[in-house]
Amino acid sequence: MKYCPVSKKCGGCAYIDVPYEEQLKMKREEMRKIFHTKAVEPVLGMKDPYHYRHKIYASFARDKKTNRIYAGMYEENSHRKVPSEMCLIQHTLANKILTTICKLAESMRIETYDEDSGRGTLRHAYIRISKATNDVLLDVVIGSKGLPSSKNFVNALVKKFPQIKTIILNFNHARTSMVLGKDERVLYGPGYITDRIGGLEFRISSKSFYQVNPEQTEVLYRTALSLAKIKDTDVVLDACCGIGTISLLAAQSAKHVIGVEINPQAIRDAKNNAKHNKLLNTEFYAADAAEFIQRMNIQPDVVILDPPRSGMTLPFMHKLAQLSPDRVVYISCNPYTQVTDIEPLKKAGYQIKKIVPVDLFGFTPHVETVALLSKLNTDKHIHVEIQLDELDITKAEKKATYETIKGYIKEKHNVKVSTLYIAQIKKKYGLDLRENYNISKKENQRIPTCPPEKEKMIVEALQHFGMLEIA
């Protein structure tokens, strides 16, 4: 066990004081509770859980006592920054680069960005490191129109760190928590780096999705493809394909692969990656997955899903159920949305065959889960349709429990809401509460009312789970 001096302030590593093997056991038990099944495989963990992050975000601030510039992360539930240049989960090279940027900013008198006033220049750094080559992509995010002495800044960094192959200047003037702005300019290098997974090379640009933990990414994708059992006669749909990592790995075995991703830059990278790896049995589309699946005229045999934390939309999942692919492999970093998303598939006759958790985020409560779903054998199973009122359970109750709603809000907003508040909002909109309360018999009991900001979050969650429609 290694000691982290800022663990009490930084909320990034909730399990920093928990032995790693114990973390894996805890995560498996949590997945069993969320999926309501013991059919969860042991978590596939790391050989070394330290310094695994090859994708790093950091913000810059000036210490009021020492007047020194430091790179850090936000303190839990605040906008105060905690120094992270010695972070135990960030790649050691990234830590060194961050320290150097701070020193250069001081020597060149580059002011840090102040969130309250909206003034200043140096705002964030975004670093990606290739596992295969150790090449570095550095995004310097500024809150002003330009970076003073940018040529000297770049030359000094590249001289000290020849691993840096690309430096990008990103402009973010918005008063927002988003790290990257829309506009950017390449200051040095080709604007991308490359990495290798499963014998294939992938181009990574600044705004392309790429997993934070490349070593475990190999394990994750190998696990997903093993469960998919792709044959040379299979047509594969890869929804939320990103830069085409899973698509191209699947293309090595499949007849044809279709990748869909809403980010146009990622699709450009995916097409370039397919061309570079000479995989011609692929096609990629920049589109919303739900809209794309509605108009596609190809029947996929295998569908692979790897969405962001918010999960897939209900229209997509319903349409997917109608397409009735033989196998669905759902990769998720948020089991709360995953377990809700697969409900339409289960109602359509799909069954969870296996759930394999893969630990990409050591020392945190988070884990990736790979779920394999396939159709029940209709020769051996009889589908019986039962009306919901026969079971004395509402459609809404079936969609999401109170704990599921709490989990969704906690994951998305990092805010805790009580069962009482959820019940109040459900009652307000005419939803059946389906919950037993030990109500006090005292007269004139003061019951707290759900605050407007939490009501908004609860309504959002109810809409997400298809329990509430507001015109």
Q: For residues 361 and 120, give the distance between their C-alpha atoms in angstroms, rounded to a whole number.
A: 33
User: How long is the chain?
Assistant: 471
Q: For residues 255 and 232, give the distance between their C-alpha atoms in angstroms, rounded to a whole number.
A: 5
Residue in the structure block whose two tokens are 């296996």: 354
Q: Token pair for residue 439? A: 């109500």
Residue from 13, 241, 333, 450 carrying the catalytic annotation: 333
Q: Per residue, what are the HEC states of the chain?
A: CCCCCCCCCECCCCCCCCCHHHHHHHHHHHHHHHHCCCCECCCECCCCCCCCECEEEEEEEECCCCCCEEEEEEECCCCCEEECCCCCCECHHHHHHHHHHHHHHHHCCCCECECCCCECCEEEEEEEECCCCCCEEEEEEECCCCCCCHHHHHHHHHHHCCCEEEEEEEECCCCCCCCCCCEEEEEECCCEEEEEECCEEEEEECCCCCCCCHHHHHHHHHHHHHHHCCCCCCEEEEECCCCCHHHHHHHCCCCEEEEEECCHHHHHHHHHHHHHCCCCCEEEEECCHHHHHHHCCCCCCEEEECCCCCCCCHHHHHHHHHHCCCEEEEEECCHHHHHHHCHHHHHCCEEEEEEEEECCCCCCCCCEEEEEEEECCCCCCCCCCCCHHHHCCCHHHHHCCHHHHHHHHHHHHCCCCCHHHHHHHHHHCCCCCCCCCCCCCCCCCCCCCCCHHHHHHHHHHHHHCCCCCCC
Q: Select from 353, 359, 297 the least CA-distant residue to 333.
A: 359
Q: For residues 362 and 367, give the distance between their C-alpha atoms in angstroms, rounded to a whole number.
A: 8
Q: Catalytic residue at 333?
A: yes
Q: For residues 277 and 281, give the distance between their C-alpha atoms in angstroms, rounded to a whole number.
A: 11
Give the active site residues. 333
